[in-house]
């Protein structure tokens, strides 16, 4: 008799430890600077307006992320810790959910833990987990939805409640920032495409076949289509109390017309603006802070981890090739690399928004979502190198990403600097200054 195949152990405990460590590191100098910096000057007044329920501020963005910031202020006080603690929590959620997503998508402990390494040190997540901006809430909800969706595909018996959570999370992601929309539609489209390719005679009513046995297409449409839309609409509850807009359907339409108008207006050029091709090659940084504050010269620099962002590009190309080969029957294990295909799809969809979006001024932080996919692709690529025996290269990439994070740590966390010209230690190129 053949021996039973070894079952790979779920790295849940390690994922928890990784996330807990990230949370604690994020708390270092969380209250520095002690005054609002960068876009906090826009979002903190908007969060306070939520608590006052008197007027709407920052109406160019949906309300949920500002409501969550307001919750932190209500619980912990209107001070730096209260402003930023919810960002820390959602940054930690994003990291943990990314690791869980990779586990359910790949069923490999190594890929899950490497995702934790590359996501936590890619700079974008860490910086945004320590500032009261909207992006980390959007990413946290999207990663939660990805985790639930991947787990539903892997464990069909849990699919119903997992897709319900995924639907709510997708709605919350869109209600945090519209950047989430291209990714929020992907789970529903993936389910539709899979069921269509399964060739069921009753496409809408059949509960058989891939991707989730026992669930009809119409039910999936409720969880992944209707629930996100209802959740999104429900987040506009403060407008019921503001006199500037009504909470009726017509009022919501008017609100969105105003939001779209503000999103597509042509503002003055900004010294830190950049384009999508700059983001891919990690060419243009943003200095969220660089000034004397709290008794010292301090700075916070947003740029991608040079090792992760550049090594991630060939890794992403390998994911595209591995996914194509597996679909064409060239995979040695005879399995389709849906994990690789999904990462490439997420990267393209999230980046394509900024290629076609009618937004005149764009910034490097718009690369946040593509960078999350890129970090996951690097995890799969490094795992592949390790399995093939190229362990020196794999170890070099891992150590390089960690070393870059440690080296940049002072300028990611507003550490006191000795001289106003100290930023040159990290601003190696003209585009980083």
Q: Give 368-386 pLDDT, tens digit per residue.
A: 999 999 999 999 999 999 9
User: Residue 431 — φ and ψ, nearest 5°?
Assistant: -70, -15
Whole-number pLDDT of residue 334: 55
Max CA pair span of the chain:
75
Report the distance separating Cα 51 and Cα 233, nearest Å.
Answer: 19
What tokens appear for 3 in the block? 């021996």
Share of the chain above pLDDT 90, in %: 78
Q: What is the mean pLDDT of residues 188-192?
A: 94
CA-based torsion, 174, 40, 272, 278: positive or negative: negative
Whole-number pLDDT of residue 51: 93
Does the structure show a pLDDT above 80 at 5? no
Cβ atoms 223, 166 nearer than 8 A: yes
Reported as type and span, the H/E element at residue 42 is helix 40-52
Q: What is the mean pLDDT of residues 190-212?
A: 81
pLDDT in tens, 132-177: 999 999 999 999 999 999 999 999 999 999 999 999 999 999 999 9
Which pTM does this prediction carry? 0.94
In the chain, where the domains are located: 12-432
> Any residues with CB less than 8 A from the CB of 158 and at least 6 apart, and which?
151, 152
Q: What is the mean pLDDT of residues 44-51?
A: 94
């Amino acid at each position: 008799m053949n021996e039973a195949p070894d079952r790979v152990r779920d790295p849940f405990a390690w994922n928890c430890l990784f996330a807990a460590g990230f949370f604690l590191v994020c708390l270092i100098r969380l209250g520095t600077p002690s005054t609002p910096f960068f876009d906090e000057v826009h979002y903190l007044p908007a969060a306070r307006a939520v608590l006052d329920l008197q007027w709407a501020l920052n109406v160019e963005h949906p309300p949920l992320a500002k409501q969550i910031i307001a919750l932190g202020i209500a619980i912990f006080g209107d001070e730096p810790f209260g402003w930023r603690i919810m960002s820390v929590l959602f940054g930690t959620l994003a990291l943990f959910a990314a690791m869980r997503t990779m586990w359910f998508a790949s069923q490999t402990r190594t890929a899950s833990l490497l995702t934790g390494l590359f996501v936590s040190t890619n700079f974008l997540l860490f910086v945004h987990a320590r500032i009261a901006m909207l992006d980390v809430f959007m990413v946290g909800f999207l990663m939660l939805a990805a985790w639930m969706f991947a787990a539903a595909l892997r464990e069909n018996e849990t699919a119903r409640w997992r897709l319900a959570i995924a639907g709510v999370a997708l709605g919350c992601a869109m209600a945090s920032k519209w950047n989430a929309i291209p990714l929020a539609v992907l789970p529903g489209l993936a389910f539709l495409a899979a069921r269509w390719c399964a060739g069921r005679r009753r496409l809408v009513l059949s509960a058989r076949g891939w991707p989730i046995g026992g669930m009809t297409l119409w039910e999936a449409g409720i969880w992944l289509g209707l629930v996100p839309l209802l959740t999104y609409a429900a987040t506009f509850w403060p407008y019921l109390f503001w006199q500037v807009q009504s909470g009726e359907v017509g009022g919501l339409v008017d609100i969105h017309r105003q939001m779209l108008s503000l999103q597509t207006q042509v503002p003055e050029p900004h010294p830190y603006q950049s384009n999508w091709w700059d983001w891919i090659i990690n060419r243009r940084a943003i200095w969220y802070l660089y000034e004397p504050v709290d008794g010292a010269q301090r700075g916070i620099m947003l740029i991608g981890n040079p090792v992760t962002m550049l090594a991630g590009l060939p890794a992403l190309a390998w994911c595209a090739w591995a996914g194509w080969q597996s679909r064409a029957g060239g995979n040695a294990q005879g399995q389709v690399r849906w994990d690789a295909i999904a990462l490439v799809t997420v990267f393209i969809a999230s980046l394509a928004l900024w290629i076609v979006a009618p937004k005149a001024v764009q910034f490097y932080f718009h690369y946040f979502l593509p960078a999350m996919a890129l970090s996951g692709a690097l995890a799969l690529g490094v795992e592949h190198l390790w399995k093939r025996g190229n362990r020196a290269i794999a170890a070099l990439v891992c150590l390089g990403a960690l070393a870059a994070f440690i080296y940049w740590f002072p300028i990611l966390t507003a550490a006191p600097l000795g001289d106003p010209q100290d930023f040159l230690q990290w601003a190696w190129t003209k585009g980083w200054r």
